[in-house]
Amino acid sequence: MKVVKACVMAVAVITAAAFGLLVIVVTGGKFDAEAIPGGSHGGLKGAPAEFQPWLLKASAACKHPELTPALLAAQVWEESKFSTSRETVSYANAKGPSQFIPGTWAVYGRDDDGNGHVDEFDIGDAVMAQGRYMCDMLGDAKKSGYHPDVSAYCSGDQTICQLQGLALGGYNAGWGAVDDVHGIPNNSQTRGYVRDILKNQRDYEGPGGLSGSGLKVSGTGSGPDALRKAAGRLGTPYAYGGGGPEGPSMGFCDGNAGYRGGICLASSTTGFDCSSLVQYAYWPKTQLPRTADEQYNATSHHPVAKADLQPGDLMFWAHGGVGAMYHVAMYAGDGKVLHAPRTGKTVELVPLATAMPADDYRGATRP
């Protein structure tokens, strides 16, 4: 594999085995499960243990950051209350925890859990199919240009909520019904479905979720737009050599990079390193090169003093303040940066003072 000089080390992988240690008792309400950080598009809490790894995996497999594990969890709750009973069949013959009708299941269902059967009642098969279907719906939503009013039941970023609402409407009623009204279908069943899921997803947002980050991005232009896009990846694991314009991808180990405790974690971690996150955030409007040092060289003609930093500006660090840049972060306002830091971490929002060693700071630029 071609060597990519990027930022330092990889993050530990969350394994399904860890989730299997949790014991969930169903009492008729939501589930009191341990919060799980670092899903590809945010953290997760409150879902049954046996669903958690699949919700995280389905979210990570989608290139659209709006498909968070919390959204998927709220959707499964709305569809079936996380039921895997063979009796979980609707009047329309929708089956399993994610409630697939036969025609849609034929398109999206796969043997994701590897048990030799493609089964709507298997958690892995159902949730991964749900993720694929929702990912397609989000793609349609972004192409549509529709802007439904969801402010009454979603207090977060309205653009994100609109896209999620359109995708949910398509999942529930079919995309044709969305196209017919240029928005969320008018029938009460679909509108209630969208309303409840958008409201309830907050109950499932664990560490790393965007809404809990405290990040408020205002303004327009390439910097704020790039920062908003990067913020959609809060909680994504660090993977040395991983990530690019299309989103997170598997990393690799190179020399001493990508290892933790002597184990190569990058090769089994899907995520970003520092420079790939920046490249992803600005792409395609501004097509930055791949590594931190290359990004500095490409933007150094527009330096920015600390006193003049604006959201989306790039900040760089080099060992001892000289030589090649080993780290890049995005300024997020209020003295904070958003970055993919190092092994054992995820994409995070932190104070500038603690992001990297102060003596290594080299300067900032504006793409």
CB 66 within 8 A of CB 136: no
Domains of the chain: total: 2
Looking at the structure, do residues 200 and 73 belong to the same domain, yes or no?
yes
CATH number for the domain that contains residue 267: 3.90.1720.10
**323-352: average pLDDT:** 92
Question: What mean pLDDT do residues 269-286 have?
Answer: 94
Compare 218 and 125 and report the one with higher pLDDT: 125
Identify whether residues 199 and 231 lie together within a single domain: no
Give this prediction's pTM.
Answer: 0.53
Are 255 and 339 in the same domain? yes
* Side chain identity at residue 306, one-letter code: K
- 126 within a domain of the structure (yes/no): yes
Kindly state whether residue 12 falls inside one of the protein's structural domains: no
For residue 9, tell me if it sits in a domain. no
Summarised one tens digit per residue, pLDDT across range 11-30 is 322 222 222 222 222 333 44
Could you report the per-residue pLDDT of 129-186, keeping only the tens digit for each?
999 999 999 999 999 999 999 988 887 778 889 999 999 999 999 999 999 999 999 9
| Angle formed at CA 139 by CA 192 and CA 247, multiple of 5 degrees | 120
Does any domain span residue 149?
yes
Q: Cα separation of 350 and 367, whole Å?
A: 22
- Same-domain check for residues 248 and 174: no
pLDDT for residue 215: 65
State whether 189 and 232 are in the same domain.
no
Residue of 52 and 110 predicted with greater confidence: 110
**Cβ proximity of 41 and 296 under 8 Å:** no
Residue 311 to residue 49: CA distance in whole angstroms: 38
Pick from 48, 45, 57: which is nearest to 205 by CA?
45
Does residue 238 sit in the same domain as residue 333?
A: yes
Strands (E), 183-252: 249-250
Instruction: Supply the range of the domain harboring residue 65.
Output: 46-204
151: exposed, middle or buried (Cβ count in 10 Å: 0-12, 13-18, 19+): exposed
pLDDT in tens, 314-327: 999 999 888 999 99
The amino acid at residue 326 is: Y
Same domain for 273 and 310? yes
Q: Which helix (H) or strand (E) holds 350?
A: strand 348-351
- Element spanning 328, H or E: strand 325-333
CA distance 80 to 127: 12
CB neighbours of residue 221 within 10 Å = 10
Sign of the dihedral through C-alpha 351, 357, 359, 361: negative
Q: What is the pLDDT of residue 345?
A: 86
> Is residue 191 domain-shared with residue 52, that is, in the same domain?
yes
Query: Are 345 and 26 contacting, i.e. CB atoms less than 8 angstroms apart?
Result: no
Q: Are residues 83 and 137 in the same domain?
A: yes
**Does residue 205 contact residue 212 with C-beta atoms inside 8 Å?**
yes
User: What pLDDT does residue 83 have?
Assistant: 94
CA angle 336, 243, 109 (to 5 degrees): 120
**Whether 138 and 276 share a structural domain:** no
Residue 266 lies in a domain: yes
DSSP letter (8 states) at residue 319:
G
- Between CA 157 and CA 136 the distance in angstroms is 21
Going by their DSSP bridges, the two strands 259-260 and 263-264 should be labelled as antiparallel
Angle between helices 274-282 and 222-231 (to 10 degrees): 120
Amino acid at 161: C
Looking at beta carbons, which pairs linking 320-325 to residues 24 or more positions away fall under 8 Å?
Answer: 320/359, 320/360, 321/359, 321/360, 321/361, 321/362, 322/362, 324/5, 324/292, 324/293, 325/292, 325/293, 325/295, 325/296, 325/362
Residue 332 has pLDDT above 90, yes or no: yes
Tell me the CATH number at 181: 1.10.530.10
Q: What pLDDT score does 3 carry?
A: 36
